[in-house]
Amino acid sequence: MKLKDGIILTEADGGFVAVDAGISGERFNGMLKLNETAGFIVNLLREGADSVDGIAEKICEKYDVDFETAKANAERVIKTLESVKLLAE
């Protein structure tokens, strides 16, 4: 579970956008809008986080949620990242 190289994360509209630098051309779909928590998770991945449990713990430290909720949240975001091909194979 690793973020692809060249993913740009920029703040926008109170959340973030992640952009895949590897996709060129006009028919571009390598963009994902993220809310604050999702942006936080992507940032953890960028910093090398590699387990869902580890990410969930960090979410619990930052936000007032229980571990199960945090884990479910992390899993959902990772699934989304997978589906738009922002994670390395």
- x/- string (CB under 8 A) for other proteins, residues 30-59? -x-x--------------------------
- Choose which of 1, 3, 4, 26 interacts with other proteins (CB under 8 A): 26
Backbone angles phi, psi at 79, to 5 degrees: -60, -45
Least distance between other proteins and beta carbon 30 (Å): 8
Contacting range for other proteins; rule: CB under 8 A; set: 5-13, 39-47, 57-65, 67-75: 5-13
- Choose which of 1, 3, 4, 25 interacts with other proteins (CB under 8 A): 25
Q: How far is CA 26 from CA 23, 29, 32, 56, in A?
A: 9, 9, 16, 37
Q: Which helix (H) or strand (E) holds 33?
A: strand 31-34
42 close to 9: Cβ distance less than 8 angstroms: yes
